[in-house]
Structure 1
């Protein structure tokens, strides 16, 4: 029973009592019934009768956290009603799938949804159902986006993180309002894992992968530093699961790594054949990933051309790293040239520094 339903029931009971006032006699003294005490007693009885009165306990659970990518930017082009309606359609679809696989919807937070498998009740196939649920959720985005397109709205994309571990589960709140939820380091880790997922991806923690290795296939393996952990955390990209049936994650994102928005200077030289040209140019980096960047250049460059980049990410040193990149795509807009670049050469030190820089930015968001 939902909290608002309990409150309505309690108010109806109190209303009935007010219509038929009664008093009790104690030690010869007549006393009026205390409505606040009655409300508390009703709440306890209703919670116990409906099974909502959970005591806190440690439980092994798989936590699923899904979040939309780029949703905040949509607020600039669409009305609040359009966005609320879009979110409700999305949440409705995801809720159907979570409940179908026996998950418990823990909460909605902005444009994200968190679900539990193994709490409040648990079974041997909690992890299997959680993984299948995540894949079905990504598959269902086709239907969500078909509706968006019919309504003249843009496609939306979702990243999902899953983690398996021990949490404290129980009712959190007060007699006025409480909800069943889980807390602990594993919940925080799930949020960090989800933040590293690209649109359309499902990322697994090492503990989740270890327990499901015999029936899942994975792709990219990424070691990242996350807040609250002294050691790097290994993440696995889920590609498919064979339990309880064969399901494959749809491929939506061609990027091979997380991409973050930045506003950084880009100093570069063009390359003709195998010769680096002497003239230096300056542009701006709009976003950057482990493997490339999107930059605004002062002049057009042909696709497949190569440039030599000089840039530093270290705040402790002015030393620049030399990186080579190939132009994949160029688009002119308002006399600016937006270029998609893929790194063709980056030394180990620069790659490590770049990865740590991107991971720090992701963690701070």
Structure 2
């Protein structure tokens, strides 16, 4: 008797899930498995799964500076580095029973809780994130031995209710999740620094105090009228896992091109003549400027520019020139803020966070 490959694939998936989770496969999961198998084997008809609302933990990981590497490294090196990275990360993800939702260039989205829900989805997601950062450290050792540049990863986690199902048409369809919580996971990831794991407050609350994390900080993200609380995941003591941070900047920084002017201070007097410049990079504590005229290191200046995203004109930031350099025919200067008003400081942080979250 000829074996139906679809029935065989479904049976194998059911057996695997039962073995790995120790749970009986429900009829709802059986229906999803059947649909996924049909899609993978080229089913003759498209029959979308009923939309299902469920709580899922979404892990979003992104390689820092990878796009810049593509401009400086041979294509063969880029392909080798990316494939090694995806292979290593996939091994970690599968070990923690995560489901890879998609690869998008140098980023990936992983699901815990879809299509199969388990009681420890959140803990497995956080452990997976830490293991991925540990794997990146080992991977960089391999890159260096092969005379390839280092790569660094930022990771964001969010837990929330999404709509899960198979979406598409007869030409193409796939199982995935959609909703605001998916977008929020991506926004949280955008705030992570190299080697960092950021988690939403919801994710933190689901772990019942079994992880070590920083106090929550509020960040402004695109699409949200109120700030979102995030924490940095430090360690999971019960599993002897600790995040190997790679970067310890004092704040996030955003690339921009904003016209500004600066006036030199003599003592406490602001000189009237203004020097025109453009802000190329801005953070909570300073800016990188492209200048029309040279300025000396150590000078104190007053900055004037508009933060249009938050509709706020800056007129009370004072800064000191910390360094200058010529680069590609342009005069650049790094400035560190020395004084700014309370309202300006709040608006500045909101401005930087909105820029970071919009990328």
Q: Could you say which residue in structure 2 is the equivalent of 1:62?
A: 57
CA 1:143–1:327 in 2, change beyond 3 Å: closer, same or farther? farther
Q: Could you tell me which of 218, 225, 235 is aligned with 1:223?
A: 218
- The corresponding residue for 2:136 is 141
> Which stretch of structure 1 is more off in the superposition, 81-90 or 331-340?
331-340
Structure 1 equivalent of residue 125 of structure 2: 130
CA pair 256-216 structure 1, distance change in 2 beyond 3 A: farther
Residues 63-142 of structure 1: pairs in structure 2 closer than 5 A? 63-142=58-137
Cα offset for 1:86?
1.4
Q: Offset of 1:131 from its aligned partner?
A: 1.0
CA distance in 2, matches of 1:213, 1:346: 40
Where does residue 289 of structure 1 map in the other structure?
283
| 2:232 is equivalent to residue 237 of structure 1 | yes
The two structures, once aligned, show a CA RMSD in angstroms of: 3.1
Query: Does 1:53 pair with 2:34?
Result: yes
Please point out which of 326, 340, 346 is paired with 1:346.
340
The alpha carbon displacement at 1:183 in A equals: 2.0
Looking at structure 2, the residues matched to 231 and 179 of structure 1 have their Cα atoms a distance apart, in angstroms, of 33
1:203-352 correspondence runs (5 A):
203-212=198-207, 214-219=209-214, 221-243=216-238, 245-271=239-265, 276=270, 280-297=274-291, 298-299=293-294, 301-302=296-297, 306-314=300-308, 319-333=313-327, 336-352=330-346
Scaled by the length of structure 1, the TM-score of the pair is 0.77
Instruction: Tell me how far 1:253 sits from its aligned partner.
Output: 1.9
CA contact (8 A) 1:300 1:337 kept: no
* 1:225 CA displacement: 3.1
Cα distance in structure 1, aligned partners of 2:261 and 2:208? 45
Distance 1:277 1:150, change over 3 A: farther
**In the TM superposition, what is the alpha-carbon distance from 1:264 to its structure 2 partner?**
1.9
Structure 1 residues 274, 213: CA separation in 2 closer, same or farther (over 3 Å shift)?
A: farther
Superposed CA offset, 1:231-254 (max 9, x none):
3211112222224x1322222223
Consecutive unaligned residues in structure 1, runs of 5 or more: 1-15, 17-40
* 1:37 corresponds to: none
Are the equivalent residues in 2 in contact too, given 1:314–1:353 (CA < 8 A)? no
Q: How far off its partner does 1:316 sit?
A: 9.2
Q: Is 2:304–2:313's contact at 8 Å kept on the other side of the alignment? A: no
What is the DSSP-based 3-state SS (H/G/I as helix, E as strand, rest coil) of the residue aligned with 1:141?
Answer: helix
> SS state of the match for residue 316, structure 2?
strand
**CA-CA distance at 1:197 after TM superposition:** 1.8
TM-score (normalizing by structure 2): 0.78
Deviations 1:78-130, CA, capped at 9 Å, x for gaps: 23332222111111111111112222222211111111122233332221121
Structure 1, 287-296 or 126-135: larger mean CA deviation: 287-296
Distance 1:49 1:251, change over 3 A: closer
Q: Secondary structure at the match of 1:75?
A: helix
* Count of residue pairs the alignment pairs up: 325
Q: Are 1:107 and 1:114, in contact at CA under 8 Å, matched by a contact in 2?
A: yes
Alignment gaps of 5+ in structure 2: 14-32, 36-48
- Cα distance in structure 1, aligned partners of 2:329 and 2:122: 52
Name the CA distance, whole Å, in 1 between partners of 2:95 and 2:339: 47
